[in-house]
Structure 1
Amino acid sequence: MASQRGNKMEGVRLMLLAAIMFSTCLDQAQSALISRTVGVIGKGTRIYCNVSEPAPASQVTLTLWFKNNSKKPMYSYDARSRTPREWSDSNYFGDRATYEASEDPPYLRITDVKETDEGMYECRVDFRRLPSRRHTSRLNVIVPPGAPKVLRNDSTYASNGIAGPYNEGTNITITCQVKGGKPPPQVKWWREGELQDAELEKSIGGEYRNILKIGPLTRDHLNAQYVCQVRNHELVPALSTTVSLLVNVPPLEVKILDPPSHVVAGKAHRVKCRSSGGRPHARITWWLDGQPFKTFRTVNETNGTLSTLSFTPTKEDHNKVLQCKAESPILQHTPIEDSLKLDVHSAPKVVSIDIETPDPAYIKEGDNVTLWCRVKAYPKVQEITWYHKGIQVQHNLEEGVKVGKQKLMMIGIEKQQGGMYSCRGTNAVGDGQSEPYILEVKYAPVCNFNSSEKVGIARNDQVVVQCRVDASPGTVTFKWYLRTKTKLINIPTEWYTVQDRTSSLNYNVTGIYTYGDILCYATNDLGEQANPCSYTLVPAGKPEPPTNCTASNHTADAFYVACVPGYDGGLEQEFVVLAFDDKNERLIRNETVRGAPAFTLEDLPPESDYLVKVYAQNVKGKSVEQVLHGFTLPSAQPGTAVPATHIFPITPILGVLIGVVAALVLVAVVVVVVMKLRGDTRTIKGRPEGGAKGPHSPLHPAKDGDDGPDVILCRTDSTYEDVDGIPQKLKHANIYETVPYDTKDKNSKNSESADKDEVAYAELTFSNGKSKSKKSKKAGANGAVRCSEESTIYATIDHSRTAAHQKQQGMQQQQQQQKQLQQAQQKQKDLESMCQVETDSIPLMDAALESNV
Structure 2
Amino acid sequence: MGLVKSLCPNGGMGTRPPPLRITHSGKHVFDEVGPGIYQQESLPVVEVAGLAGGGASLPCDVSHQPGDTLLLLLWFKDSLATPIFRLDARHGGLERWRDERRMGGRVTLEVGGHRALLFLTPLSPSDQGLYTCRVDYQYQPTSTTRVSLTVVVPPAGLTVTVETEGKPVKGKVVKGKERNVVFSTSHSDSLDPVVGPYLAGDIISLTCVARGGHPRPSVVWLVDGSLLHSAAPSSQPTIAAPRPTVPPSPTPPFTSADGNTTVGTTIMTPSGEDDGELLTCVAQTQKPPATMRDSRRLQVHYSPRVSASFGSSLDAERIKEGADLYLECRVKANPPPSHVFWRHDEEELYQNISRGILVSGGTLVLQRVARSQAGTYTCHARNPLGEGDSSALTVDVKYAPVCSAAQTTTYAVGRNEDAEVSCAIEANPLKVTFRWSFNTTTESVDIPTAHVSSAGNQSTISYTPLSALDYGTLLCWAVNDIGVMRNPCVFHIVPAGKPERPGNCSVVQGRATSVRIRCQAGGDGGLPQHFILEAALQGGSHTVNLTTAQAPTFMVRGLIAGGQYRVEVRGVNRKGSSAPAHLTLTTTPGGIYHLHGALALVISTLC
Q: TM-score category by the smaller chain?
A: 0.3 to 0.5
**Structure number with larger C-alpha Rg:** 1
Q: Normalising to structure 1: TM-score of the pair? A: 0.34
Give me the TM-score of the superposition, normalised by structure 2: 0.47
Greater fraction helix: 1
Higher RCO by CA contacts (8 Å cutoff, separation 6 or greater): 2
